[in-house]
Amino acid sequence: MTLRLRTTTFVAAAALCAGLAPALAEPADAELVINDEVTIKTVAPAAEHLKGHLDTVYSGWLFREDETRAMEMDDFDNPNMVFAEQAMEVWSTPEGTENKSCADCHGAIEEGMMGVRAKMPKINAAGDLWSLENYVNDCRTNRMGAEAWKWNSQDMKNMTVAISVQSRGMPVAVEIDGPAQSHWEKGKEMYYTRYGQLELSCANCHEDNYGNFIRADHLSQGQVAGFPVYRLKDANIVSIHQRFVGCIRDTRAETFAAGSQEFIDLELYVASRGYGLDIEGAGVRP
Amino acid sequence: MNRHVLWMACAATTFAAGIACAETAPTEVQFDETGAVAQSLTGAPGNAEEGAKVASTRPLGNCVACHQVAALTADFQGNIAPALDGAADRWSEAQLRGIVVDAKHTFPESMMPGMYKTGPFIRPGDAYTGKAAPADLPPILTAAQVEDVVAFLMTLKD
């Protein structure tokens, strides 16, 4: 803990000493290889739709300290994995009036959920845009006859981590045209809206100032390919929408609710800003 | 001290004459075409020492979130915005007041939040609670705090 703080002080102090005007503190020059096995793309040329906004996209992993980055490189050190294991048990436990488990319909999670996270959020059969959490609850309520999990409940977070691990190393693959396009447009509008009494948009911090420090925080591009992430400060998993709530709250704004259509739309747009990056399944943050 | 006396005098006048007093409300601030605000918001000089505190404190000005200021000991100073060292050499008091009140009159589209502004905002919140703002949302800084910060900025000379 002390060590981490010291390093941050050092970096901030170094920036001060050099007397730098907002020079871009570069993201780390490091490669993310998990368990010496899976190489994750954490840097990529920006998608066509980001032309004029970003040239290169970077995972938030690159903006963290050495020790935090190391935790994501080995599943024995990645605190997410304890929770993923709990979810694996739930995966094969029958529940609800139908007395069925996830495994009864989807088989082994490694096969049934492979690549699923990379496509989320995604248009469902009825034509609505849904996040991974919506799909999980749809199975629980309509196929198992079990109760829906709250968006940010431990059960839901554990399960979304376990499912995300099955897309590890696969490129972000959200669809943004066809029926998803209007949602994407709304998400984009939100991204550039200056919310709250501080009148700050996502872009003010994550597009115009990534690499810079806002007080002690080294700003990343606010990418979601690493999500859900384990946050050491909270000693728990943080969902994508939970992070959105935190960022909007920090602009002295009235936030939207986790699971709201607004945040599902925003999630689609933010995910599409990560085209070229790989799903990390699952990140670690300070 | 001065301010206190002034406020008392003001309160007395208001009481006696029933007229609004020296303190300028956020909606009444007069900017010139360059974004400067000539008139003190309180009618009294600010306190530079208090201003230094306001500039370093998170729920208040928290200027150091974005700016570096060598004169302040606050740790973790950000580097989003230009360093404020020598600000008084570059700007007049009126210009600095304008920037602190609402920098968007000086720098259109600026990322810098208006410190003495009550709207219009998109989805204003109740401080950092994430809940909707009350109808009478107060500005981030009081008029006196703005004057204190301006007094502090006026001490920043190279």
Residue in A192, A183, A269, A178 with CA at minimum distance from that of residue A223: A269
pLDDT value for B74: 92
- Mean pLDDT of all residues in A113-118: 98
Predicted confidence at residue A44, as pLDDT, reads 98
pLDDT(B20) > 60: no
Cβ–Cβ < 8 Å for A268, A114:
no
Q: Which residues of A197-225 are buried (b: 16+ CB within 10 A; e: fewer)?
A: bbbbbbbbbbbebbbbbbbbbbbbbbbbb
Per-residue DSSP letter, A140: I
Closest residue in B to A256 (Cα–Cα): B130
Q: B6 or A120: which carries more pLDDT confidence?
A: A120
Mutation for testing the A interface, residue in B84, B111, B140 having most A CBs under 10 Å: B111
Q: What is the pLDDT of residue B5?
A: 43
pLDDT of A18 reads 38
A16 contact B CB<8A: yes
| Contact list, A215 vs chain B (CB under 8 Å) | 58, 62, 64-65, 76-78
Q: Do B79 and A245 touch (CB under 8 A)?
A: no
Here the tokens at position B108 are 């259109």
Q: What class has domain A1-286?
A: mainly alpha
CB-CB neighbours of B71 under 10 Å? 12
Instruction: Give the phi and the psi of residue A132 in degrees, each rounded to 5.
Output: -55, -40
- Report the percentage of chain B scoring pLDDT > 70: 87
Of B94, B117, B119, B103, the closest CA to residue B63 belongs to: B103
A235-284 pLDDT, tens digit each:
999 999 999 999 999 999 999 999 999 999 999 999 999 999 999 999 99
**Nearest by CB to B78, which of A204, A214, A245?**
A214
For residue B9, pLDDT beyond 90? no
A48 Cβ contact list (under 8 Å, min separation 6): none
pLDDT of B128 higher than 80:
yes
- Decide if A247 is catalytic: yes
Q: Does residue B95 surpass a pLDDT of 50?
A: yes
Structure tokens at A205: 């911090």
Note the pLDDT of residue B22: 79
Does the pLDDT at position A20 exceed 70?
A: no
- Can you tell me the mean pLDDT for A38-42? 98
Tokens read off for B95: 């210009």
Q: Does B57 touch chain A (CB under 8 A)?
A: no
In the predicted structure, residue A16 carries a pLDDT above the cut 60: no
Residues of B in contact with A249 (CB under 8 A): 125, 128-130
User: Would you state the pLDDT for residue A226?
Assistant: 98
A213–B78 C-beta distance less than 8 A: yes
Give A32 to chain B, closest Cα distance, Å. Answer: 27
Q: What is the pLDDT of residue B21?
A: 57
Per-residue pLDDT at A4 exceeds 60: no
Q: Do A197 and B75 touch (CB under 8 A)?
A: no
Average pLDDT over residues B87-94: 98
Query: What three-state secondary structure class fits B88?
Result: helix
User: Which of B66, B78, B125 lies at the smallest CB-CB distance from A252?
Assistant: B125
Strand pairing class (A122-123; A129-130): antiparallel
Q: Say whether pLDDT at A54 is over 80.
A: yes
Q: What does the pLDDT average to over A66-81?
A: 97
Give chain A positions within 8 Å (CB) of B76.
8-9, 12, 213, 215-216
Residue-wise burial string across A229-245, b where 16 or more C-beta atoms lie within 10 A, e elsewhere: bbbbeeeebbbbbbbbb
Range in A19-23, A148-152, A177-181, A257-261 with the lowest mean pLDDT: A19-23
- Segment holding B93, helix H or strand E: helix B93-102
Q: Which residue has the higher pLDDT, B12 or A75?
A: A75
Residue type, position A201, single letter: S
The catalytically annotated residue of A102, A202, A205, A247 is A247
Give residue A17's pLDDT. Answer: 37
CB A169 within 8 A of CB A116: no
Question: Would you call B123 and A196 a contact, using CB atoms and an 8 Å cutoff?
Answer: yes
- Within A69-173, strands assigned E span 122-123, 129-130
Q: Is the pLDDT at A5 greater than 70, yes or no?
A: no
Residue with the bigger pLDDT between A151 and B58: it is A151
Looking at beta carbons, which residues of chain A come within 8 Å of B124?
A: 196-197, 252-254
Mean pLDDT, chain B, integer: 90
Contacts of A84 (CB under 8 A, 6+ apart): A158, A161, A162, A165, A282
* Residues of B with Cβ-Cβ distance to A199 under 8 angstroms: 113-114, 121-122
pLDDT value for B8: 45
> Could you tell me what percentage of chain B is helix, strand and coil, using 3-state DSSP and rounding each to the nearest 5?
35, 5, 60
Q: Where are the domains of chain A?
A: 1-286
**CB within 8 Å of chain A, chain B residues 118-137:** 121-133, 137
A159-192, pLDDT tens digit by residue? 999 999 999 999 999 999 999 999 999 999 999 9
Which residue of chain B has the CA closest to A193?
Answer: B122
Q: What is the pLDDT of residue A25?
A: 67
For residue B128, give how far its alpha carbon lies from the nearest alpha carbon of chain A (Å).
5
Average pLDDT over residues A114-128: 98
B72/A contact by beta carbon, under 8 A: no
Identify the structural domains of chain B with CATH numbers, from first to last: 3-153 (1.10.760.10)
State yes or no: pLDDT of A214 exceeds 60: yes
Structure tokens at A251: 């602009």
What sections of A72-170 are H helices per DSSP?
80-91, 102-106, 109-112, 132-138, 154-165
Of A124-138, A243-257, B13-27, B58-72, the one with minimum mean pLDDT is B13-27
- pLDDT tens string B26-66: 999 999 999 999 999 999 999 999 999 999 998 899 999 99
Do A252 and B66 count as a contact with CB atoms less than 8 A apart?
Answer: no
Length of chain A in terms of residues written: 286
| Angle, in degrees to the nearest 10, between helices A261-272 and A181-191 | 90
